[in-house]
A = this chain, B = another copy of it.
Amino acid sequence: MLLTPKKVQRRTAKLRDPEGTRQSLLQAAFREVYRYGFQSAGIDAILGATHVTKGALYYHFESKEALGHAIIEEIVAEITRDRWLRPLEQSKDKNPIDALIGIVQAIPARPRDVKGGCPLVNLTQEMSQLDEQFRKRLERIFQEWQEGIATALRKGQCTGTVRRDLVPEETASFLIAMVEGYEVLAKNAQNAKVWNIGIKNIVSWLSSLRAPGNGKRG
Contacts and interface: CB of A to CB of B under 8 A. Distances in A.
Interface in A69-107: none
Contacts of A116: 129
Copies of this chain, count: 2
Contact of A128 (B126, B128, B188): B188
A129 B36 CA distance: 9
Interface in A98-144: 115-117, 121-122, 124-126, 128-130, 135, 138-139, 142
Interface residues of A, number: 41
A124 to B, nearest CB: 4
Contacts of A35: 129-130
Interface stretch (A43-51, A54-62, A179-187): A179-187
B40 A188 contact: no
Interface of A (DSSP majority class): helix
A168 to B, nearest CB: 13
Interface of A: 35-37, 39-40, 115-117, 121-122, 124-126, 128-130, 135, 138-139, 142, 170, 173-174, 176-182, 184-185, 187-190, 194, 197-198, 201, 205
